[in-house]
C-alpha cells in the first residue's frame, strides 16, 4: 500500500498545525526539514500564533506562515493537514481544513476526526525507550512516508539584528526565568554563575527575559527584557555560551549550535534536553533548587568554552 506522501500530488500543499510554545515550535523544525528533503516540490504552511511566528521566519522549508484560524487554513487548500498540536482548536482546524488527508497522533483527543491516525513514536521508530520531542515529531513524517533518516538539528534563521545595546562578543546569554516556580533556579545562584562567567571565562553575562518576566534581581549585569523574538534569536545566535532554566530559549540556543548548560525542574531531560548540540543537563534529586552553583560551574568547565 502506498504511503500518504506518495498519494500527495506533485507540487501539493501541506498544512502543519503547531500553534504555540517556543520549545515545541523549535523542535518541529527537524520534522519540517526531513519532509521537505523527501518532497522538495511540496509547499508547507505552518499554522502558529503570531507571537511565535518569528521562529519560522526565513526558514526555507516553510512557504507560508498562517494564523490559527480554520478559514485561513482552508483557504490554503492543503492536500494534507497534519496536526502536531493536539488540542481542541487544532482538531477543529484539521477537521475543517478541507484536506483530503487529515492526520494526527492517534492518542490525541478527538482522534476520530483524523483519517490518518499516527501511532506513538515508539511504534514507528521500533524502540521501547522514552523518545525526545524532536524524535516524536519527526516520527510522524516517517509514518506518512518520509524515508527513515537521521533526525537533524532544529533550524532557526536570523536577520542579525540583536537588541540595541547588546555587548560586543564574546558574551554568554543567561535565561533565569521560567514559566513556573518549580522550573526556576534561584536568582542568587544565577548571579553567582554570572560572576563566574565574567571572572573565569571572560564572557560578559547578558540576562534575557520575556515581556512579563522581571529582571530587576540581575541589574548589575546587562539585561534584555521583552525584546522582539527576532532580536532574541540574533542575540542568542551571537553568544559563545547559554546558561538557563529548561525553557524555550534553551532550545533556541541548541538550534544555533550554542554550547549550553540547562537546569531542569520537573520536566524530563530525556524528552526535553537540548537537541544535537554540546550541552550539559542538570536535574536536581529534590527539585530544581537542589542543583548547586558548584554543579553548574563544573558543567561549564566541561564545555570548555572561553572568550
Cis bond before residue 170 (omega within 30° of 0): yes
Architecture of domain 4-144: 3-Layer(aba) Sandwich (3.40)
> What pLDDT is attached to residue 203?
96
Q: pLDDT class for 165, splitting at 50, 70, 90? A: confident
Establish how many alpha carbons lie within 13 A of residue 207's alpha carbon, considering only the half-sphere containing its beta carbon: 23
Q: pLDDT class for 307, splitting at 50, 70, 90? A: low
> What pLDDT is attached to residue 182?
94
Tell me the per-residue pLDDT of 128-140, one tens digit each, with 9 for 90 and over. Answer: 999 999 999 999 9
Tell me the per-residue pLDDT of 45-70, one tens digit each, with 9 for 90 and over. Answer: 999 999 999 999 999 999 999 999 99
Q: pLDDT class for 166, splitting at 50, 70, 90? A: confident
For domain 171-303, the CATH class is: alpha beta
Q: Say if pTM beats, i.e. exceeds, 0.85.
A: yes
Q: Are residues 201 and 305 in contact, defined by beta-carbon separation less than 8 angstroms? A: yes
| 3-state SS record for 49-114 | CHHHHHHCCCCCCCCEEECCCHHHHHHHCCCEEEECCCCHHHHHHHHCCCCCEEEEECCCCCHHHC
Domain ranges of the chain: 4-144, 171-303
Establish how many alpha carbons lie within 13 A of residue 190's alpha carbon, considering only the half-sphere containing its beta carbon: 30
Q: Do domains 4-144 and 171-303 have the same CATH topology?
A: yes
What is the distance between the alpha carbons of residues 66 and 73, in angstroms, rounded to a whole number?
A: 7
User: Is the pLDDT at 16 greater than 90, yes or no?
Assistant: yes
Instruction: Please report, to the nearest 10 degrees, the dihedral formed by the alpha carbons of residues 156, 162, 167, 172 taken in order.
Output: -20
273: Cβ contacts below 8 Å, ≥ 6 apart: 132, 262, 279, 281
> What is the three-class DSSP state of 139?
helix
> What pLDDT is attached to residue 150?
97
Closest CA to 67 of 49, 94, 85, 45: 49
Q: Are residues 73 and 47 in contact, defined by beta-carbon separation less than 8 angstroms? A: yes
pLDDT, greater one: 248 or 161: 248
User: Is the pLDDT at 160 greater than 90, yes or no?
Assistant: no
Burial 240-279, CB ≥16 within 10 A → b, else e: bbbbbbbbbbbbbbbbbebbbbbbbbebebeebbbbbbeb
- The rounded mean pLDDT for the chain is 95
> What pLDDT is attached to residue 205?
97
Residue 191 is placed in which grid cell? 548571579
Kindly list the distances between the CA atom of residue 38 and the CA atoms of 14, 15, 61, 165, 223, in Å, as whole numbers in the listed order. Answer: 13, 16, 11, 42, 42
Closest CA to 241 of 281, 203, 184, 289: 203
Report the relative pairing of strands 80-83 and 64-66 from DSSP bridges: unpaired
In the predicted model, what is the mean pLDDT of residues 80-88? 96
Closest CA to 84 of 55, 42, 124, 121: 121
In the predicted model, what is the mean pLDDT of residues 272-293? 96
What are the DSSP E strand ranges found in 170-273? 171-175, 204-209, 222-225, 241-245, 260-264
Tell me the per-residue pLDDT of 204-235, one tens digit each, with 9 for 90 and over. Answer: 999 999 888 889 999 889 999 999 999 999 99
Closest CA to 303 of 242, 232, 256: 242
Element housing 14 (H / E): strand 13-19
Tell me the per-residue pLDDT of 276-286, one tens digit each, with 9 for 90 and over. Answer: 999 999 998 89
> What pLDDT is attached to residue 162?
83
Among residues of the chain, what percentage have pLDDT more than 70?
A: 99
User: Is the pLDDT at 109 greater than 90, yes or no?
Assistant: no
Task: Report the Cα 276 to chain-centroid distance in Å.
Answer: 12
Amino acid at each position: 500500500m502506498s504511503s500518504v506522501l506518495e498519494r500527495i500530488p506533485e507540487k501539493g500543499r501541506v498544512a502543519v498545525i503547531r500553534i504555540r510554545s517556543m520549545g515545541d515550535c523549535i523542535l518541529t523544525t527537524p520534522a519540517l526539514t526531513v519532509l521537505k528533503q523527501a518532497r522538495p516540490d511540496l509547499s508547507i504552511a505552518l499554522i502558529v500564533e503570531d507571537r511565535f511566528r518569528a521562529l519560522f521566519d526565513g526558514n526555507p522549508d516553510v512557504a507560508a506562515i498562517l494564523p490559527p484560524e480554520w478559514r485561513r487554513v482552508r483557504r490554503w487548500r492543503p492536500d494534507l493537514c497534519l496536526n502536531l498540536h493536539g488540542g481542541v482548536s487544532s482538531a477543529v482546524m484539521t477537521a475543517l481544513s478541507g484536506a483530503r488527508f487529515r492526520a494526527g497522533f492517534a492518542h490525541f483527543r478527538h482522534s476520530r476526526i483524523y483519517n490518518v491516525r499516527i501511532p506513538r513514536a515508539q511504534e514507528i521508530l521500533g524502540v521501547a525507550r522514552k523518545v525526545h520531542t524532536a524524535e516524536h515529531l519527526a516520527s510522524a513524517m516517517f509514518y506518512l512516508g518520509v524515508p527513515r533518516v537521521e533526525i537533524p538539528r532544529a533550524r532557526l534563521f536570523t536577520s542579525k539584528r540583536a537588541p540595541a545595546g547588546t555587548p560586543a562578543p564574546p558574551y554568554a546569554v543567561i535565561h533565569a526565568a521560567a514559566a513556573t516556580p518549580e522550573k526556576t533556579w534561584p536568582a542568587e545562584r544565577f548571579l553567582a554563575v554570572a560572576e563566574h562567567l565574567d571572572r573565569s571565562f571572560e564572557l560578559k553575562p547578558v540576562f534575557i527575559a520575556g515581556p512579563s518576566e522581571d529582571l530587576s534581581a540581575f541589574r548589575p549585569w546587562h539585561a534584555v527584557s521583552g525584546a522582539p523574538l527576532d532580536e532574541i534569536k540574533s542575540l542568542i545566535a551571537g553568544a559563545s555560551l547559554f546558561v538557563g532554566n529548561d525553557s524555550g530559549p534553551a532550545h533556541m540556543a541548541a538550534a544555533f549550535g550554542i554550547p549550553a548548560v540547562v537546569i531542569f525542574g520537573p520536566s524530563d531531560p530525556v524528552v526535553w534536553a537540548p537537541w544535537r548540540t554540546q550541552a550539559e543537563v542538570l536535574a536536581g534529586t529534590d527539585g530544581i533548587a537542589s542543583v548547586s552553583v558548584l554543579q553548574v560551574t563544573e558543567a561549564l568547565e566541561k564545555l570548555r568554552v572561553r572568550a
